[in-house]
Amino acid sequence: MGKYEMDFEKYKKAVEKVIQRFADRGWEEIRVEEIWFETSLPIDLILEVINQGILIPSEVNSITHGGKVIWKKNKQEI
């Protein structure tokens, strides 16, 4: 990894951990703003981590940001 490259792995783990906590509480829809509130990570970083691909528990049906769905469970997964 170069001097100015970001290590997304630690941010990925932080976001996955928070999403798992929400799933454990029974949340089916999660807003990025709620992830931001729990992690204090910048929203654009959270969006980038989600777009790169993270492990999302089966209990979660969708993740939204600003009223738009940014991740939705595939019909095969339901």
Percent of the chain with pLDDT over 70: 88
Please, which residues have CB within 8 angstroms of residue 34's CB and are 6 or more apart in sequence? 22
Q: Which residues pair with 68 in a beta bridge?
A: 65
Q: What is the pTM of this model?
A: 0.86
pLDDT digits (tens, 9 = 90+) for 55-72: 999 999 999 999 999 999
pLDDT digits (tens, 9 = 90+) for 20-33: 999 999 999 999 99
Contact 77, 58 (CB under 8 A): yes
